[in-house]
Amino acid sequence: MNKRYITTPIYYVNDIPHIGHAYTTIIADSLARFYRLKGYDTFFLTGTDEHGQKIEQAALSRGKNPKEYADIVSAKFRSLWDEFDISYDYFIRTTDENHKKGAQKAFEVMFEKGDIYKGEYEGHYCVSCETFFTDMQLINAELCPDCGRTTTLVKEDSYFFRLSAYQDKLLKWYEEVDDCVIPKAKKNEVINFVKQGLRDLSITRTSFDWGIKLPSSLSDSKHVLYVWLDALVNYLSALGYGTDEKNMSFWPASFHIVGKDILRFHGIYWPAFLMSLNLPLPKHIAAHGWWTRNGEKMSKSKGNVVNPREVAEAYGLENFRYFLLREVPFGQDGDFSQKALIDRINSDLGNELGNLLNRIIGMSGKYADFKLDSADVLKYHQKEIDAADTILEGAQSYIEELYTNKYLEELWKVLTIANQSIALYEPWNKIKEGKKDEALALVALSANLLAKAAVLLSPIMPKTADKIANALGFKIDTDTYNRLILKKELLKKTILTPTEPLFPRVEKELMSSPEPVTQPKEESKKEFISIDKFFACEIKIGTITKAEAIEKSDRLLKLSVDLGEAKERQIISGIRAYYEPAVLIGTQVCVVANLKPAKIMGLESEGMILTAEDKDGLSLIRPENTKAKGALIK
C-alpha cells in the first residue's frame, strides 16, 4: 500500500499556539486528510519541542521547573489541536523517553561513523533562535541576524558534527532531486547558503542542563544535546527509531512542512544528519511564509498576535481553515485581517458554495420532491461534466505540491460551471416550457458538480464537505473518491435533504481588533515610523579618545568615546577591518547613546557608532566640522 509520512515542526513550549502554528498544522492536516481520502496509509506527526536554554529560561522566569512548565504548555498545544480536530496519528514530546533513546542512538551512530569530534566552541549564541553565529554574521557585532535580539558570547567544550564534510553531497542532492525543497525560490536560498561554505556544527552544550544527555557509551555527562539535533531527530524517534522500530516503514518523510525561518535547519542540517545515519532523505521539505496582521508583524509587545482559537470561535473553524489555505500562495507571506476573512466567507463560501447547495435543494424540492437521478445528465450535459472532471483531475497535483490556494481555485471553477449552468439553462423556464426532464438533468448536473467538488474539498473543510454530502445523500470516503473522482462516475439515485444555510452572512467584524489600522495597507507595508520614534533614539556626537584591537577578533575594536559626560563610554565596534586604531584617535563620530549596554566578546559596550556600508566597504559617519561633544543629532 502507498505510504505517506507528513510532519509539522514540533512547537517550542515557550509560547502559546498562534496563527503561525495553526497554519502549519492545518496545511499538514489537510494534506494528511487528502492522502487518506485517496486510500494511502498515512502517518501524520506533530508535537512539542521542550528542551534547550530558551525553554529553561522561560520556565525559570515563571518560577517553574522546565518539565512542569513543558507539561503545561505542551498540553495547551495538544488540546488546541484536539479542539481543531487535527487528525494527527502521533503527538511527540521531546521529553518522552522513547524520543530521548532515539536521539541518543542517532548521536551514537554519527559518532561511530566518525562524523562527531570533540573540541571547543567559541562564538555567539542567540537563545531565542537557539542558533550559533559567527562574528561576521552578527548585526552591529552583537545582534542576531535572524531575530535582532542580543546574542551572548559562548565559550565551552563541545562536540562538533562534521557538517563541512557534507557540503558537496548536499549540493548534489539539491541538484539531483528537483523538488526536494519547495518552493523553488526557497530552494535557491538554501543552495546559496550552502555554496558560501558550511562550518562544522556544535551539537552539544555544557552551560546548562535542560536537554538530553549524551549516550552512556561516551561517558561524558557534562554535555546535553544541542536542541536542534534533539528536535530534528523527533521525525525518526516518532516512528520508533532507537526503540520499537515498527513504524520505520513510513520513513522517508513525504513532507516536512516548516516555516521559512527554520528552513536552514531542515534543508541543510537535517539531510546531512540523515546522510550520516545512512538513512534515505525526505521527499519534500516544504517551506511556507509568515503571517502578518493588518500588514504588521505580529508581536506580543504590540498585542496583535492572532489567537487561532479566538478566530475559530468568532468565524468558525472551517471558514478559518479555508481562509488560511486559500488566501496565500504557499511559500509567500500572508496577511490576516478580519476584512479579508469576512470577504472570503461571504463571497467564496456563502455566494458560490452555500448558495449553490441551497439552489439545488430548492429546485429539486420544487420539481422532483427531493429525488435526484443522474440518468439524463450525460445526455444534456456531457460537456460540463467532462470539463469538471478534467479540472478536478488536474487540481490534485496542486495540493500535492502544497499549492492549496490553486487547488481551491480549481475546485471553485467547478462550482462556477454549476452556477453558470443554472443561470444559462434556466430550469424554471424549462419547467414552464414543459421540458421537465431537461430541468431535472440540470439539477442533477449541478448536484454532481457540487458533489465532486465536495469530495476534494473534504481535506480542507471536512465537516462542511460532510454536510454537503449528507444533504446530497452520499458519503465521503475513499470509495466515493474512487468512483466520483478517479473513475469520473456520477451520483447514484438519492434523496436530497434540506439543510440549514452553511455560511450565514457575516455583516461586521466579530473580534475586537487589537489596534486600529490607521495607514492604508500599502503605506503600512513601508513601515514608516513617527518622528517620536526617531527621537526616542538619542544620537550624539562623541570624540574617540582611545582605540585598541581586541585579541582574538579580527572585526572588533575597543574604543573610548567622550560624549561630554562625566565618564567616557567604552564602545565595542566592528570596524577593525576598515580602520587602524591609531588613526581614529581624536576623530568625531555619531553614537547611539541610549542603546541598552551589551556584552560583546565579554566586554561591556555602552553605545553604538554609526557607519554606512556598501560594496566599496564601510565608513564612519562623521560631522562635517567639529561639533561640541554630546551635541544631539536631529
Q: Which is nearer to ligand MSP, 259 or 295 (CB)?
A: 259
| Shortest distance in whole angstroms from residue 11 CB to ligand MSP | 4
Element (H, E) at 454: helix 436-457
Entry field: residues in the chain? 634
Report the interhelical angle of 377-400 vs 19-37 (nearest 10°): 130
Question: Does residue 447 contact residue 469 with C-beta atoms inside 8 Å?
Answer: no
Complex with ligand MSP: residue 130 or 135, whichever CB lies closer: 130
Cα–Cα distance, 494 to 474 (Å, whole number) = 8
Nearest distance in Å: CB 103, ligand MSP = 11
Min dist. Cβ of residue 395 to ligand MSP (A): 25
What is the bridge-based pairing of β-strands 255-259 and 152-161?
unpaired
**Residue closer to ligand MSP, measured from CB, 272 or 395:** 272
Report, in Å, the least distance between residue 255 CB and ligand MSP.
13
Nearer to ligand MSP, 93 or 555 (CB): 93
Which amino acid is it at 331?
G
- Per the CB < 8 A criterion, the answer to whether 467 and 502 are in contact is yes
Least separation in angstroms between residue 161's CB and ligand MSP is: 16
Pairing of strands 588-592, 569-573: unpaired
404-425 vs 436-457: helix axis angle to the nearest 10?
170
Minimum Å distance from CB 228 to ligand MSP? Answer: 7
CA distances from 618 to 222, 298, 500, 615 (A): 42, 33, 67, 8
Q: Minimum distance from CB of 147 to ligand MSP (Å)?
A: 10
For ligand MSP, which is the closer residue by CB, 334 or 574?
Answer: 334
Grid cell of 96 as nine digits:
518522552
Set of cell numbers at residue 531 = 518622528
**CB nearer ligand MSP, residue 31 or residue 547:** 31
* 22 vs 372, beta carbon nearer ligand MSP: 22
CB 304 within 8 A of CB 514: yes
Shortest CB 22 distance to ligand MSP, Å: 9
Within 3-120, where are the H helices? 19-37, 53-61, 66-83, 97-112
We find the least distance from the C-beta atom of residue 525 to ligand MSP, in angstroms, to be 16
Residues 6+ apart with CB under 8 A from 314: 510, 511
In the complex, what is the shortest distance from the CB of residue 234 to ligand MSP, in angstroms, rounded to a whole number? 6
Minimal distance in Å, beta carbon 257 to ligand MSP?
Answer: 8
Select 335 or 400, whichever has its Cβ closest to ligand MSP: 335
End-to-end CA distance of the chain: 70
DSSP state of 509: -
**C-beta of 234 vs 374, nearer to ligand MSP:** 234
Spatial distance between the Cα atoms of 346 and 323, rounded to a whole number of angstroms? 12
CB of 548 to ligand MSP, least distance (A): 40
Longest CA pairwise span in the chain (Å): 101
Q: Which residue, 330 or 503, has its beta carbon nearer to ligand MSP?
A: 330
Closest C-alpha to 44, from 256, 315, 211, 362: 256
Distance CA 617, CA 634 (A): 26
Question: In 197-326, where do the E strands start and end?
Answer: 201-202, 204-205, 224-225, 255-259, 284-288, 291-293
157 or 261: CB nearest ligand MSP: 261
Q: Interface with ligand MSP by CB under 6 A: which residues?
A: 9-12, 20-21, 23-24, 49, 231-232, 234, 258-259, 261-262, 290-291, 298
Q: Which is nearer to ligand MSP, 24 or 573 (CB)?
A: 24
Q: Who contacts 333 (Cβ-Cβ below 8 Å, separation ≥6)?
A: 289, 290, 291, 292
Of 103 and 262, which CB lies nearer to ligand MSP in the complex structure?
262
Least distance (Å) between residue 313 CB and ligand MSP: 20
In a 13 Å sphere around the CA of 23, the CA atoms on its Cβ side amount to 30
CA 596 distance to own-chain centroid = 31
Query: Are 250 and 15 contacting, i.e. CB atoms less than 8 angstroms apart?
Result: no
Task: Determine the Cα–Cα distance for residues 322 and 340; give it in Å rounded to an integer.
Answer: 12
Q: How far apart are CA 144 and CA 147, in angstroms?
A: 6
CB of 334 to ligand MSP, least distance (A): 8
Are 352 and 322 in contact by the 8 Å Cβ rule? The answer is: no
By beta-carbon distance, which residue lies closest to ligand MSP? 259
- Bridging pattern class, strands 131-133 and 116-126: antiparallel
Indicate the residue among 12 and 35 with the shorter CB distance to ligand MSP: 12
